[in-house]
Amino acid sequence: MGVVNNPEIIFDSTKMENIGAPKKSALPGYYFPLIIGIVFAEAVILGFILFDIFPIGAFEVYPFARYAPYVDASDVTQLSVTITRWLFFLLTAGVLIPITLIIILEITRRVLIARRGEPNAWDDEFPWLNKLDRMTAVPADAPARVRGDYISRFDVHQRIQHYVLMGSFIVLAVTGMLRGFPDWPTFQWFTGVFGGTGVLRLVHDIAAFIMIADGIYHLGYIGYGYFVKGKFPSAMMPRLKDLKDIIDTSLWIFGMRQHEPEYDHFQYGQKIDYWAIFWGMPVMAVTGMIMMFPAFFSQWFDGQWFGVVATAHRDEAVLAIGFIIIVHMYYGHLQTSAFPVNTVMFTGKMLKSKYKQWFGREYSQITGEKE
């Protein structure tokens, strides 16, 4: 039997593999239908949420809110409240809609690769992008992180911070959505199951203080590392390499590159995820405190400013929850290299094979292994 030549399959002698040949996937057969179903459901839910917060009617203040006695019907129609509502609506839509579309395009690209193999695209067609690339030096003690088949990535303090942040966020998200959208179908029933609006408010406030304490813990951890140990988490700082990676990823999505970019210690998406907290947490903490103690703050705020604070708090919460459910969950746990769950933040370590897949450039620097 003769060998059928496929012009789309090219043998790469440097990697000793066929470029363009279909690859056997380690993913289960239900992976793509499951992920497509999840993303579709998230997109539909996102549409309903954006429609609900679309600022076409007056902002509604529910009677169980602590600040309700300080706000009347005319306050929520003031220009300041309207501008705030439009600002946060456009911010939420401007962040979540494009990222959801990017995820859909990325999934489409992966489906095409799984069915047809890689197209005949070349990574060296865009040499000008290398001008944005500067190789960062890993710390001298980085090779010590290699321990058998694993590479250490997060210490115990970082993992504790993640546990507390994750736990408090989930509690805040559930109780906050029930309080912020009490008229949604079944939400009143769930509120009754949890013990009523009074219990929800108490649990919500406790979780808020825990999250704020965790944020202070994180800043103290960074300060201790810098002033006492002389170490600063510079790997999380934005670099021109991140811009290059974003462009490379876009080229890969549209089939103009054969491989995804190789990352250093953090991917650009992880940096966006991290720095978004420094916007979201202060907004939520400040607005939450004002709504928690309205009698005190009424010395300086009148009714319209309580309306501004309330809409900022609710809509920023919608953005944060949407970002975590759609973006963080997909890139952290559901994409092909992480499915079904990424355990690194729970164990602090990552298999070398996974590390090479996620952070290929730093992997080469740490281990000395080359392609």
188 or 220, higher pLDDT = 220
Indicate the average pLDDT of the chain: 88
Question: Per-residue pLDDT for 227 more than 50?
Answer: yes
Exposure on the CB side of residue 173, measured as CA atoms within 13 A: 14
Q: What is the pLDDT of residue 14?
A: 42
pLDDT at residue 118 is higher than 90: no
DSSP states of 35-55: HHHHHHHHHHHHHHHHHHH-T
Give yes or no for residue 22 having a pLDDT over 60.
no
- Cα gap 7→20, rounded to integer Å: 9
Kindly give the pairing relationship between strand 150-152 and strand 349-351.
antiparallel
Contact 260, 249 (CB under 8 A): yes
Measure Cα distances from 16 to 11, 13, 19, 22, 123 in Å.
7, 5, 9, 15, 17
Predicted confidence (pLDDT) at residue 246 exceeds the cutoff of 90:
yes
Whether the CB-CB separation of 292 and 285 falls below 8 Å is answered with no
DSSP element (H, E) containing 346: helix 344-347
What are the pLDDT digits (tens) for 160-207? 999 999 999 999 999 999 999 998 888 888 999 889 999 999 999 999
- The domain segmentation of the chain, as residue ranges, is 26-367
In the prediction, which pLDDT does 327 show?
A: 93
Q: Is the pLDDT of residue 338 over 60?
A: yes
> What three-state secondary structure class fits 10?
strand
Q: Note whether 32 and 339 are within 8 A (CB).
A: no
| CA geometry: angle 96, 251, 36, nearest 5 deg | 45
Q: Is the pLDDT of residue 19 over 60?
A: no
CB atoms within 10 A of CB 80: 13
pLDDT at position 18 over 50: no
Neighbouring C-beta atoms of residue 346, cutoff 10 Å: 13
Indicate the helix (H) or strand (E) that contains 204. Answer: helix 197-227
Please check the confidence at residue 15 and state whether its pLDDT lies above 50.
no
Closest CA to 25 of 103, 116, 105: 116
Q: Quote the pLDDT of residue 13.
A: 44
Q: How far is CA 193 from CA 24, 172, 175, 283, 305, in A?
A: 47, 16, 12, 29, 33
The share of the chain scoring above pLDDT 70, in percent, equals 91
Backbone φ and ψ of 151, nearest 5°: -125, 125
The pLDDT > 90 percentage for the chain reads 61
Local confidence band at 10 (pLDDT 50, 70, 90 cut-offs): low
Q: What is the model's pLDDT at position 25?
A: 53
3-state secondary structure of 12: strand
- Give the pLDDT mean for 237-248: 92
Question: What is the pLDDT, as a whole number, of residue 132?
Answer: 82
Domain 26-367 has CATH 3.90.1150.10: no
Q: How many other β-carbons are positioned within 10 Å of the β-carbon of residue 274?
A: 12
Q: Which residue has the higher pLDDT, 276 or 365?
A: 276
CA angle, 32 as apex, 31 and 34 as ends, to 5°? 65
> In 3D, which of 364, 358, 319 has the Cα closest to residue 339?
358
Best mean pLDDT range from 55-59, 109-113, 206-210, 362-366: 206-210
DSSP 275-344: HHHHHHHHHHHHHHHHHHSHHHHTTT--HHHHHHHHHHHHHHHHHHHHIIIIIIHIIIIISTTTTT---H
Q: What was the pLDDT predicted at 9?
A: 52
Tell me what pLDDT residue 290 has: 96
Comparison of pLDDT for 318 and 230, the residue scoring more: 318
Query: Any idea of the CA torsion for 115, 120, 124, 130, to the nearest 10 degrees?
Result: -30
| pLDDT beyond 70 at 121 | no
